[in-house]
């Protein structure tokens, strides 16, 4: 497992989240008037993964179940293809959200049969796993009981992953939707992470072989406030230091609806300001890495090259930001 963790966050490298669920890819393609089908999804993923040069910047790619069974145009499965390029393939294993106690919050499901699924994923060459919990901030949410249950499941996922030899990426995403302030986001982030690490400790999870995937501390999108990168860095690092144990191998950020430019600039500032923070810090972006490429691709073969150029350009910038070199 340690070998996998080291490869994922090797110098200058981070993760591409290409694990959009069926529901999410329908939404992303739909915004560009494209209709998601397994074949169009496959072509899209092939466009991304075949981009020349990405192995310099990507330690790993997170895949969705549909993709791990698909092959590229040369008949090679995507996990094999990525491995051949020196990129570690991983898999999103949660099964989405379900209502929690009828109170309006939604908890992540997918623990049932997880160990059996992981055994199959291991045979396909996958080395790490991801589980996403989604946490909304409103005047009344998140409730304590919801956080307890959601973080408990996240910790169980991490334990079962490690028992099967996978490095878990534990993702409690604090959603950007809402009018909340950065201060309230900080308060909820710290509270969530503290509960998560209590649960991980109770499950005896090895933190040295675990990644925390998290949102940056930001004001809600509806507040209309776009903070300067130095403010995002200051509050995010303060919150992390307050709640995340030093043994954790690495922290990777999701982009969460920030523009590609914001997600790049904010990561750069976090790295520049991280001082003696004990963890590796890097990226695990979906939208911020893919948005420009997807819009240029539009499902057409003749656009593949232009889309790949945009993808590589953004990845190069994000990798520079991961080194604090922008
Ligand atoms: P975004 O970077 O688009 O937020 O996605 C990251 C992710 O993996 C969400 O689960």
pLDDT exceeds 90 at position 3: yes
Q: What percent of the chain has pLDDT over 70?
A: 100
As a whole number of angstroms, the distance between CA 176 and CA 187 comes to 14
| Dist. CA 85 → ligand 1 center (Å) | 23
pLDDT score at 83 = 98
Atom of ligand 1 nearest to the CA of 215: 4
pLDDT score at 73 = 96
Atom of ligand 1 nearest to the CA of 17: 8
73 CB neighbour count, 10 Å cutoff:
9
According to DSSP, the residues that pair with 167 across neighbouring strands are: 128
Q: What is the mean pLDDT of residues 83-97?
A: 98
Q: What is the mean pLDDT of residues 300-308?
A: 98
pLDDT exceeds 90 at position 213: yes
Atom of ligand 1 nearest to the CA of 289: 2
171 is catalytic: yes
Q: Which residue has the higher pLDDT, 167 or 103?
A: 167
pLDDT exceeds 90 at position 234: yes
Q: Atom 5 in ligand 1: which residue has the minimum CA distance?
A: 286
* Burial of residue 195 (number of CB atoms within 10 Å: 0-12, 13-18, 19+): buried
pLDDT score at 298 = 98
Q: What percent of the chain has pLDDT over 90?
A: 99
Summarize pLDDT for 30-60 with one digit per residue, the tens. 999 999 999 999 999 999 999 999 999 999 9
Q: Computed from CA positions of residues 178, 184, 186, 192, in that sequence, does the dihedral angle turn out positive or negative? A: negative
| Dist. CA 311 → ligand 1 center (Å) | 16
| Dist. CA 17 → ligand 1 center (Å) | 6
pLDDT exceeds 90 at position 271: yes
Residue in 46, 152, 171, 186 annotated catalytic: 171
**3-class DSSP string for the chain:** CHHHHHHHCCCCCEEEEECCCHHHHHHHHHCCCCCCCHHHHHHHHHHHHCCCCHHHCEEEEEECHHHHCCECCCCCEHHHHHHHCCCEEEEECCCCEEEECCCCEEEECCCCCHHHHHHHHHHCCCCEEEEEEEECCCCCCCCHHHHHHHHHHHHHHHHHHHHCCCEEEEEEEECCCCCCCHHHHHHHHHHHHHHHHHHHHHCCCCHHHCEEEECCCCCCHHHCCCCCHHHHHHHHHHHHHHHCCCCCCEEEECCCCCCHHHHHHHHHHHHHHCCCCCCEEEEEECHHHHHHHHHHHCCCHHHHHHHHHHHHHHHHHHHHHHCCCC
As a whole number of angstroms, the distance between CA 256 and CA 259 comes to 9
| Dist. CA 253 → ligand 1 center (Å) | 9
Atom of ligand 1 nearest to the CA of 254: 2
Residue in 13, 127, 199, 213 annotated catalytic: 213
| Number of folded domains that form the chain | 1
| Residue ranges lining ligand 1, Cβ < 6 Å | 17, 132, 171, 254-256, 285-288
As a whole number of angstroms, the distance between CA 224 and CA 106 comes to 26
pLDDT score at 12 = 96
Q: Which of 243, 256, 161 is nearest to 210 (CA)?
A: 161
Q: What is the mean pLDDT of residues 189-216?
A: 98
| Dist. CA 20 → ligand 1 center (Å) | 8
pLDDT score at 148 = 98
Mutation pick for ligand 1 pocket among 48, 254, 263 (CB with most ligand atoms within 8 Å): 254
Q: Atom 10 in ligand 1: which residue has the minimum CA distance?
A: 132
| Dist. CA 186 → ligand 1 center (Å) | 19
> pTM of the predicted model, to two decimals?
0.98
pLDDT exceeds 90 at position 1: no
End-to-end CA separation in angstroms for the chain: 32
pLDDT interval class at 226 (50, 70, 90): very high
Q: Atom 4 in ligand 1: which residue has the minimum CA distance?
A: 256
Range of the domain at 204: 2-322
pLDDT score at 248 = 98
pLDDT score at 62 = 99
CATH number at residue 42: 3.20.20.70
Mutation pick for ligand 1 pocket among 267, 284, 294, 314 (CB with most ligand atoms within 8 Å): 284
According to DSSP, the residues that pair with 63 across neighbouring strands are: 18, 91
Phi, psi of 197 (to 5 degrees): -70, -30
Q: Are 190 and 144 in contact (CB under 8 A)?
A: no
Q: Which of 63, 166, 152 is nearest to 108 (CA)?
A: 152
Question: What Cα–Cα distance (Å) separates residue 246 from each residue in 6, 102, 277, 282?
Answer: 16, 37, 8, 16
Mutation pick for ligand 1 pocket among 24, 256, 283 (CB with most ligand atoms within 8 Å): 256
Write down the residue that tokens 């059996």 correspond to: 116
């Amino acid at each position: 497992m340690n070998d996998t963790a080291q490869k994922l966050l090797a110098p200058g490298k981070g993760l591409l989240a290409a694990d959009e669920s069926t529901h999410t890819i329908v939404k992303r393609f739909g915004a560009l008037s494209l209709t998601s089908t397994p074949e169009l999804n496959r072509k899209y993923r092939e466009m991304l993964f075949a981009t020349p040069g990405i192995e310099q910047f990507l330690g790993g790619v997170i895949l969705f179940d549909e993709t791990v069974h698909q092959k590229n145009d040369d008949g090679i499965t995507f996990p094999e293809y990525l491995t051949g390029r020196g990129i570690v393939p991983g898999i999103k294993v949660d099964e989405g959200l379900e209502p929690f106690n009828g109170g309006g919050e939604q908890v992540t499901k997918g623990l049932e049969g997880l160990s059996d699924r992981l055994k199959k994923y291991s045979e396909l060459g996958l080395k790490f796993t991801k589980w996403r919990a989604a946490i909304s901030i409103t005047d009344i949410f998140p409730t304590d009981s919801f956080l307890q249950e959601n973080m408990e499941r996240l910790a169980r996922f991490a334990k079962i992953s490690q028992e099967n030899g996978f490095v878990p990426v534990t993702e409690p995403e604090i959603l950007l939707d809402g009018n909340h302030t950065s201060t309230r986001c900080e308060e909820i982030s710290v509270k969530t992470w503290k509960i998560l690490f209590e649960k991980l400790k109770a499950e005896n999870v090895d933190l040295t072989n675990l990644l925390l995937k998290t949102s940056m501390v930001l004001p809600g999108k509806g507040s209309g406030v776009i903070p300067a990168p130095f403010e995002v860095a200051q509050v995010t690092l303060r919150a992390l230091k307050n709640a995340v144990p030093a043994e954790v191998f690495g922290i990777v950020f999701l982009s969460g609806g920030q523009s590609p430019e914001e997600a790049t600039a904010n990561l750069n500032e976090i790295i520049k300001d991280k001082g003696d923070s004990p963890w590796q810090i890097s990226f695990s972006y979906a939208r911020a890495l893919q948005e420009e490429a997807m819009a240029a691709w539009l499902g057409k073969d003749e656009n593949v090259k232009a889309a790949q150029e945009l993808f590589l350009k953004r990845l190069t910038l994000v990798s520079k930001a991961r080194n604090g070199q922008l």
